[in-house]
Amino acid sequence: MQQQLAEIQSIVEDVLKLAKDKGATQAEASMSKIEGIAVSSRLKEVETVEFTNDGGLGITVYKGNKKGSASTADLSPQALTLTVEKAIEIAKHTSDDDCSGLAEKELMAFEYPDLDLFHPIELDTEQAIQQVIAAEASALDVDSRITNSDGASYNANLGAKVYGNSHGMLAGYNSSRYNMSCVVIGEQDGDMQRDYSYSVSRQANLLTSPEQLGQEAAQFTLDRLGARKVKTCKVPVLFDREIAAGLFGHFISAISGGSLYRKSSFLLDKLEQQVLPSWFNISERPHILKGLASSPFDHEGVRTQDLKVVSQGILNSYLLTSYSARKLKMNTTGHAGGIHNWFIQHTGETDKEMLAKLGTGLLVTELMGQGVNIVTGDYSRGAAGFWVENGVIQYPVHEITIAGNLADMLMNIVAIGAEQETRGSIQTGSVLIENMQVAGE
């Protein structure tokens, strides 16, 4: 893969030179190549086997304050030349925008750390097939009430990514990602429920075993059988750690430059103000070795760095690209392409202690629908989970809606569990919110 990385860097370098020769005042290009396999099964029969060997190049050119972009999956010299010409042609016809252009040269990651993101294995289809079938078999063996399967899947991707621009930045790295999942259906007294389990890692050998994955999927499904509605009420709500990251996803949208300069965020003008409880901290650490969201630089070549996003409930930083930063008369924070490893500081309680703290209320384990308005903060989503009394789970619940306003929900977080979800870009425990409206019967 090192040789492939060098080849990609060479292509990016050539394309940038071509853009300059054809009259671009500034240019940036990124290119990626991915090799991978994807295997899925259903009821222990192989459903799909896919091989990927994809590559693509995107280029953005600037002629003064005019911008043009083009991309191609054809990497032949003729196609690359045509792509550059198209980008320049587009730039001629766009309007001037004072905020467009590359990020500032002094912010570029001309030197950057190796974050140990690449752990290649041989892409072995037979082994992948064995794993998905083992996961399903394990799930179907748990209990006779597990009557059907929605399938198991295994994905392995080995990639190389390069970014370069006319500041002289040319950088790239290899990365790997593996994931496996299993979804099953249970039935009891005419009630059917489904649930799943999944695992993701930079290292294939660190994935949860197929057998354990299947057992987890089956147990989660069995736990949901016999679900009922609850009466409409206003109670404390505990977001299970697996879905709690979604809450902070809305927070990310609200403090991202695009929402802010368009004035379409419920957290407008909240910089250096309290937006979360006074004990609440969020830190970003882009250089965690093997991290699922680790990156030495963002999509504009800006070096990434540790950031205290929230300290004692105070919002310290927006999430800005060079364009949104100029719109807001601020500086980019290196967030072109998204966030890098967020850590939500917990308050120390185990999952059992979080239930005790909830007392009587709702534990939410699944959310449905898109009823979130980032402009106003209004929040209303379909939910399923468990009804809890005196800290003890009583029965599964479904076909309900939970509602509130994100600004209030964030301020009314009571505790964050110590048992953390680590399978994504946001590491958080379960989140307890003091009060929400629950609509049921």
Report the CATH number that the domain containing residue 112 is assigned in CATH: 3.30.2290.10
What digits encode the pLDDT tens for the residues 282-311? Answer: 999 999 999 999 999 999 999 999 999 999
At 406, is the secondary structure helix, strand, or coil? Answer: helix
Domain check: are 35 and 171 in the same one? yes
Q: CA 283, CA 311: separation in Å to the nearest integer? A: 8
Q: Which tokens go with 186? A: 């249970």
- Among the three residues 224, 243, 265, which one is the final residue of a domain in this structure? 224
Predicted local distance difference test score (pLDDT) of residue 2? 76
Check whether residue 282 and residue 136 sit in a common domain: no
Judge if 238 and 218 occupy the same domain. no
Is the same domain home to 216 and 178?
yes
For residue 177, pLDDT over 90 is answered with yes
Name the domain boundary from 224, 251, 270. 224
Write the CB contacts of 327 (distance below 8 Å, at least 6 apart in sequence). Answer: 99, 257, 261
Q: Which residues lie closer than 8 Å to 201 by C-beta, 6 or more apart? A: 177, 178, 179, 207, 292
Sequence-ordered alpha helix ranges (H) in 270-426: 322-327, 351-358, 406-411
pTM: 0.94
> Which among 229, 180, 251, 195 has a CA at the least distance from the CA of 382?
229
Q: d(Cα 322, Cα 307) in Å, to the nearest integer?
A: 17
Average pLDDT over residues 422-438: 97
Q: Looking at the structure, tell me whether residues 283 and 398 fall in a common domain.
A: yes
160 and 253 together in one domain: no
d(CA 435, CA 362): 10
Helix pair 2-21, 77-93: axis angle to 10 deg = 40
Are 235 and 340 in the same domain? yes
Based on the domain organization, do 220 and 231 belong to the same domain? no
Do residues 333 and 218 both lie within one domain? Answer: no
Instruction: Say what percent of the chain tops pLDDT 70.
Output: 100
Name the residue range of residue 246's domain: 227-441
| 22-80 pLDDT per residue, tens | 999 999 999 999 999 999 999 999 999 999 999 999 999 999 999 999 999 999 999 99
- Beta strand 426-427 with 342-344: parallel, antiparallel or unpaired? parallel
- What is the pLDDT averaged over residues 215-241? 96
Q: Is the pLDDT of residue 184 over 90?
A: yes
Mean pLDDT, residues 309-329: 98
The number of folded domains in the chain is 2
Same domain, 231 and 185: no
Please give the average per-residue pLDDT across 126-152, as a whole number: 97
pLDDT (0 to 100) of residue 93: 93
Q: What is the C-alpha separation between 258 and 99, in angstroms, rounded?
A: 13
**Measured between alpha carbons, how far is 177 from 168 in angstroms, rounded to an integer?**
29
Q: For residues 296 and 109, give the distance between their C-alpha atoms in angstroms, rounded to a whole number.
A: 8
Judge if 261 and 387 occupy the same domain. Answer: yes
Q: Which of 224, 247, 276 is the last residue before a domain boundary?
A: 224
Which tokens hold the place of 120? Answer: 């290649």
Mean pLDDT of the chain: 96
Do 216 and 298 lie in a common domain?
Answer: no
Task: Enter the DSSP assignment of 231.
Answer: -
Residues 189 and 30: beta-carbon distance below 8 Å: no
Q: Give the pLDDT confidence score for residue 406 in this predicted structure.
A: 97
Q: pLDDT-based confidence at 337, cuts 50/70/90?
A: very high
Contact 34, 54 (CB under 8 A): yes
Q: Return the HEC string of 332-362.
A: CCCCCCCCCCEEECCCCECHHHHHHHHCCEE
Q: Tell whether the model's pLDDT for residue 3 goes beyond 90.
A: no
Q: How many other C-beta atoms can be found within 10 angstroms of the C-beta atom of residue 75? A: 17
Secondary structure of residue 6 in the 3-state scheme:
helix
